[in-house]
Amino acid sequence: MANPRAEAVAELVRRLGHDFRTPALLERALTHASVSEGGSPQTSKAPRDNERMEFLGDRVLGLLVADRLHNDFPEADEGQLSSRLHALVDKAACGRVGERLGIGQALRLSPGETKSGGRRKEGVIADAVEAVLAAVYLDGGLDAARLAFDRLWAEELARTPERGLANPKSALQEWAQAQGRPLPTYRIADRSGSDHAPTFTIEVSVEGVEPISAQGRSRQDAEKSAAIAMLKREGVI
């Protein structure tokens, strides 16, 4: 009988372009924290989830993006590089990479998380992408991680930088004032994940406009993402 998840993992490896010497690293990278819910952390049989690998993958991704931008844009200043980096490492970008990679069907999730649509959640997919990048790094080193990054982020790197990304909160503030509305307000709608790798969901509101939410690895990043989301929805950028 065919095993749909095994087939999805095999297809993911093919798209990833990396042959794992230690397949257990990939398996851990694809294991969501929900699988361990209710289990004892002291029990050796308890599944190990991907949160620690996500933490590492986030740093590996940041280094690879910074190195690539530093080489590709020798005339860009720090602000321009930071803006471009943010757009390439945020949850939206990682989520798109994960969708193209087909990572959702390869994940190990609890029945409850699966039922709630975990395989399609941007945050779950984005976190898994970073964990998979960490798995490649641990398995083959930085050169292997760079090859995977170049392959997976090719479409993101080719995207035209959008207006308003350098300081999206200021851009949203200026737009609101131009419309004769009060300044935007931000609130934490949710905080999930572990202490060392939290995910913030921020809702931004502008009077007379429907609120919109976005996620980020810090409150600041989530606020920027929420501002960008509103600017895009309202046709400002």
Greatest Cα-to-Cα distance within the chain, rounded to the nearest angstrom: 63
Give me the pLDDT at residue 166, please: 64
- Return the domain boundaries, the chain: 4-158, 168-233
Q: Is the pLDDT of residue 161 over 80?
A: no
Nearest one of 230, 231, 205, 227 to 216, comparing CA atoms: 227
Give me the pLDDT at residue 32, please: 93
Over the stretch 111-128, which tens digit does the pLDDT of each residue have?
988 888 889 888 899 999
Nearest one of 27, 33, 32 to 12, comparing CA atoms: 27
Give me the pLDDT at residue 159, please: 79
Name the band, by pLDDT with cuts 50, 70 and 90, for residue 165: low
User: What is the overall mean pLDDT for the chain?
Assistant: 88
Whole-number CA gyration radius for the chain? 19
Rounded Cα distance, 145 and 233, in Å:
34
C-alpha distances in Å from residue 102, one per residue of 64, 70, 92, 213: 22, 29, 15, 25
Give me the pLDDT at residue 92, please: 84
* β-bridge partners, 215: 201
Over the stretch 23-46, which tens digit does the pLDDT of each residue have?
999 999 999 988 876 554 544 555
Over the stretch 166-219, which tens digit does the pLDDT of each residue have?
678 888 998 898 888 999 999 999 998 777 778 899 999 999 999 999 998 889
CATH of 168-233, one of 2.40.110.10, 3.30.160.20, 3.40.50.620, 3.40.50.1370: 3.30.160.20
Instruction: Give percent helix, percent strand, percent coil of the chain, each to the nearest 5.
Output: 60, 10, 30
Give me the pLDDT at residue 1, please: 54
Phi/psi at 37 (5° precision): -60, 130
Give me the pLDDT at residue 42, please: 44
CATH of 4-158, one of 1.10.1520.10, 3.90.79.10, 3.30.1180.20, 1.10.287.1080: 1.10.1520.10
For 168, the token pair is 């999206």
Query: What are the catalytic residues?
Result: 58, 130
Give me the pLDDT at residue 162, please: 59
Give me the pLDDT at residue 56, please: 96
- Interior CA angle at 121 toward 119 and 125, to 5°? 70
Q: Give the residue, 40 or 57, on which the prediction is more confident.
A: 57
Tell me the mean pLDDT in the region 36-65.
78
